[in-house]
């Protein structure tokens, strides 16, 4: 039995939910929290999909205390996810967060549980990710390294850290001009990229459906790091062909691998700047190949013409 509490965030994707739920069944958590957003009345067929999801998550057949948060009205990604995590940490001190399209290896659960215990009293560690987007490039000789980037396709944190999360960007006007903000970046391009991201959200918070941008901001604002495994422990199974994000994220669909304990600790408690520079270039700046972008826009044009 697995003792670390797990929050499973679901909505309207029964196929993906089934795959991830089956992996949760293999893990056999003792405490499972399930938060589900409500269907949108104007979307035909969505009610049925959400009901299918509820049926899947009702199939817990191992000794487990299950907690449910079923929304009565549709909240959308920002409020449903952040609200679900708020609800989770009202009860638990530390835990794992999985969305319905994040398929973990079984190693992910053990890694998170171990790191949650090991770094529980480290105030400058806020986030444990299951993602490694270094394309096989080793970053040191240890089992994990410290990063400034808080990837959220399968992750874990503590109540003490999540308590610093706010939907609004705390003191952005002052912080944006400070040395404490600028120190995170190794190039003008990176500084400009994140300044623009935060500024756009700060100016129009009600029309942006982000939740994770604010979490990244909270980590940096409170001078906090992320623990990143040397292998990718979670793969995203929710990015389908033909979606707007496909050409930008397809290269990040990396198989989940095992990372076996015992874990070796980095000899130096410093950020891995090479890894973070690679992440910025290959994750946040990546726009797809020229061929993939042409193919995508041709597809959109043909769809408009009903060809």
Label residue 18 exposed, middle or buried (CB < 10 Å: 0-12, 13-18, 19+).
Answer: middle
Check if the beta carbon of residue 261 is closer than 8 Å to that of residue 231: no
pTM of the predicted model, to two decimals? 0.92
The ranges assigned to domains in the chain are 1-100, 124-150+168-307
Q: How many CB atoms lie within 10 A of CB 180?
A: 12
CATH number of 1-100: 3.40.50
How confident is the model at residue 246, as a pLDDT? Answer: 55
Mean pLDDT, range 195-217, rounded to an integer? 94
221-257 pLDDT, tens digit per residue, is: 999 999 999 999 999 998 864 444 455 677 889 999 9
Stretch (H or E) spanning 20? helix 14-27
- Give, in degrees to the nearest 5, the angle at Cα 123 between 92 and 199: 95
**DSSP 8-class letter at 185:** -
29-39 pLDDT, tens digit per residue, is: 999 999 999 99
81-117 pLDDT, tens digit per residue, is: 999 999 999 999 999 999 999 999 999 999 999 999 9
Mean pLDDT, range 5-33, rounded to an integer? 98
Of all residues in the chain, the percent with pLDDT exceeding 70 is: 90
pLDDT confidence tier of residue 288, bands split at 50, 70 and 90? very low
CA distance 194 to 280: 10
How confident is the model at residue 208, as a pLDDT? Answer: 84
Mean pLDDT, range 176-181, rounded to an integer? 98
Residues 6+ apart with CB under 8 A from 101: 13, 16, 20, 153, 236, 237, 238, 239
Label residue 96 exposed, middle or buried (CB < 10 Å: 0-12, 13-18, 19+).
Answer: buried
């Amino acid at each position: 039995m697995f003792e670390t509490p797990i929050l499973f965030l679901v909505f309207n994707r029964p196929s993906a939910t089934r795959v991830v739920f089956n992996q949760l069944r293999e893990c056999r958590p003792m405490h499972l929290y399930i938060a589900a957003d409500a269907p949108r009345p104007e979307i035909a067929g969505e009610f049925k999909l959400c009901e299918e999801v509820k049926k899947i998550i009702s199939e817990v057949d191992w000794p487990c205390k299950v907690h449910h948060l079923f929304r009565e009205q549709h909240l959308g990604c920002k409020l449903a996810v952040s609200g679900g995590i708020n609800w989770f940490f009202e009860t638990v001190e530390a835990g794992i967060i999985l969305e319905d399209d994040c398929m973990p290896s079984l190693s992910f659960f053990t890694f998170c549980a171990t790191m949650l215990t090991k770094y529980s009293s480290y105030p400058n560690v806020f986030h444990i990710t299951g993602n490694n987007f270094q394309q096989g490039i080793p970053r040191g000789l240890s089992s994990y390294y410290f990063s400034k980037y808080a990837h959220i396709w399968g992750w874990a944190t503590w109540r003490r850290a999540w308590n610093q999360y706010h939907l609004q960007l705390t003191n952005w006007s002052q912080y944006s001009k400070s040395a404490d903000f600028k120190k995170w970046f190794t190039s003008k391009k990176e500084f400009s990229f994140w300044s623009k991201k935060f500024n756009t959200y700060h100016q129009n918070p009600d029309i942006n459906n982000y939740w994770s941008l604010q979490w990244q901001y909270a980590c940096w604002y409170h001078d906090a790091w992320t623990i990143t495994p040397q292998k990718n422990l979670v793969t995203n199974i929710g990015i389908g062909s033909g979606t707007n994000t496909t050409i930008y994220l397809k290269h990040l669909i990396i198989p989940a691998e095992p990372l076996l304990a015992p874990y070796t600790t980095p000899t130096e408690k410093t950020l891995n700047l090479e890894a973070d520079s690679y992440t910025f270039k290959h994750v946040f700046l990546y726009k797809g190949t020229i061929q993939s972008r042409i193919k995508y826009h041709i597809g959109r044009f043909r769809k408009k013409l009903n060809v």
